[in-house]
Amino acid sequence: MATGVDEWVEVKPVKGFRLGTAMAGIRKPGRRDLVIMNWDSGSSVAGVFTRNRFCAAPVHLSRARLANDPEYFLVNTGNANAGTGDAGMAAAKMTTLELARVAGIDENKVLPFSTGVIGEQLPVDRLCKGIPTALEDLQEDNWYSAAEGIMTTDTRPKGASRQFVHEGKLYTISGMSKGAGMIKPDMATMLAFIATDVAVDQNYLQLLLRDIANQSFNRITIDGDTSTNDSFMLVATGAAGNDVIDASESDLAQKFIQNLKEVSVELAQAIVKDGEGATKFVTVRVEGGASQQDSLEVAYTVAHSPLVKTALFASDPNWGRILAAVGRAPVATLDVDQVSIWLDDVAIVNSGQPAVGYTEAAGQKIMSQESITIRIALGQGKAVEEIWTTDLSHDYVKINAEYRT
């Protein structure tokens, strides 16, 4: 049972951006499993993808076609089309060719995305039969149906939206994400799509997206597994009619960046809150690192520790597990005499020693919460990093053991 996942919030339509869905029966009948997105010509499109060397055929294809001024996203769930060799690449191309044929465009302007079971061939015929229905369904206010249509083991659709006013003009940023397991940075087993009506230069949009990904989707982890299909896409339609943003100096650019980050973080955290079998939402914050990398190494070592994660599931204030994880982090200059650790505001370690006044009851109270912050101070510098993770429960094992049945 996922923890702390907000119910669906109203996701505002974005001018010039449309979504359509269909029930194609890709893996199971009677559920939305095919999503098409389309936008006005002249829009800017940016994307970042998984770094897994076994990345899926649609990732290869989308990465290669990103520079072609794409006009459509074609997304399916139920089948990852990963680990499928030459046949998988041919299948991805066939689906984009069919969409291009029906829509009357160049196939190189269609970017495919897949999520689901790895190692099984994509049912091309079923997918292609669903394309006309999804195209007929294209509309700006279809975010909820689309967010349902990209789910796999997610317990509910995930969306986020922000609107802001600049010089009397209203701007919108809206998005959706999916993911619940096989989550680890360098992208995760996730898909995320964000659209805005702000006009943004293509090259700047790509640079900005990489930075935003590192502050959001590349700061989440559920189980330490990096997937094969991860993609984070951003479309700026420019329908708001502003002067094109090509740098971060203007007031409009700053408002846009802040709201884009908020949407991305909300979607990233929603994935963690919906983690497979998760009962806790855990923030691991590392302060005082000599470098950003040192802070991240400590944070991920704690977040990936099975002993820490199972203690979190049990609501057990066994803080020695946290201490041990910090001590084995690959940080050459770590000085344990400088390390302090807190559970929320309860000190458990102070300068390498058990905190004076700590009680088991105080630790138990914090560990029983659904939302917990583990704060670690290294005392070596000024670098601060924060990541978001979950506990590890019986249900996580059950969900993944039964994933293909």
Q: Note the pTM of the prediction, 2 decimals.
A: 0.90
Q: What range does the domain containing 350 cover?
A: 281-401
Task: Please indicate, yes or no, whether residues 256 and 291 belong to a single structural domain of this protein.
Answer: no
**Which of 273, 304, 323 is where one domain is finished?**
273
Residue 352 structure tokens = 């390498």
Q: Which residues are catalytic?
A: 189
With respect to residue 8, please indicate whether it lies within any of the assigned structural domains.
no
Q: Is 113 helix (H, G, I), strand (E, B) or coil?
A: strand
Task: Please indicate, yes or no, whether residues 360 and 299 belong to a single structural domain of this protein.
Answer: yes
Task: Please indicate, yes or no, whether residues 216 and 335 belong to a single structural domain of this protein.
Answer: no
**Which of 273, 306, 322 is where one domain is finished?**
273
With respect to residue 10, please indicate whether it lies within any of the assigned structural domains.
no
Q: What CATH number should be reported for the domain holding residue 35?
A: 3.60.70.12
pLDDT score of 403: 59
With respect to residue 226, please indicate whether it lies within any of the assigned structural domains.
yes
pLDDT score of 6: 56
Task: Please indicate, yes or no, whether residues 258 and 360 belong to a single structural domain of this protein.
Answer: no
Task: Please indicate, yes or no, whether residues 373 and 232 belong to a single structural domain of this protein.
Answer: no
Q: Kindly state the average pLDDT of the residues 277-287.
A: 92
CB burial string 222-247: b at 16+ within 10 A, e below: bbbebbbbbbbbbbbbbbbebeebee
Alpha-carbon separation of residue 357 from 87, 274, 346, 360, 368 (angstroms): 63, 35, 10, 10, 20
Burial class (CB in 10 A: 0-12, 13-18, 19+), 404: exposed
**Which of 273, 301, 329 is where one domain is finished?**
273
With respect to residue 11, please indicate whether it lies within any of the assigned structural domains.
no
The residue assigned the tokens 């046949």 is 87
Q: E-strand spans in 180-266?
A: 191-196, 231-236
Task: Please indicate, yes or no, whether residues 332 and 363 belong to a single structural domain of this protein.
Answer: yes
Q: Kindly state the average pLDDT of the residues 249-256.
A: 97
Given a cut of 80, is residue 4 above it in pLDDT? no
pLDDT score of 188: 44
Task: Please indicate, yes or no, whether residues 165 and 262 belong to a single structural domain of this protein.
Answer: yes
Task: Please indicate, yes or no, whether residues 69 and 200 belong to a single structural domain of this protein.
Answer: yes
Task: Please indicate, yes or no, whether residues 287 and 207 belong to a single structural domain of this protein.
Answer: no
pLDDT score of 232: 94
Number of domains in the chain: 2
Q: Are strands 231-236 and 191-196 parallel, antiparallel or unpaired?
A: parallel
Closest CA to 71 of 114, 20, 101, 108: 108
Task: Please indicate, yes or no, whether residues 209 and 337 belong to a single structural domain of this protein.
Answer: no
CB 380 within 8 Å of CB 374? no
| Alpha-helical runs (H) found in 137-250 | 143-149, 202-215
Given a cut of 80, is residue 42 above it in pLDDT? yes
Sign of CA dihedral 20, 263, 46, 64: negative
Q: Kindly state the average pLDDT of the residues 181-188.
A: 48
Task: Please indicate, yes or no, whether residues 236 and 297 belong to a single structural domain of this protein.
Answer: no
Task: Please indicate, yes or no, whether residues 103 and 37 belong to a single structural domain of this protein.
Answer: yes
pLDDT score of 399: 65
With respect to residue 4, please indicate whether it lies within any of the assigned structural domains.
no
pLDDT score of 189: 58
- d(Cα 292, Cα 95) in Å, to the nearest integer? 42
With respect to residue 132, please indicate whether it lies within any of the assigned structural domains.
yes
pLDDT score of 226: 62
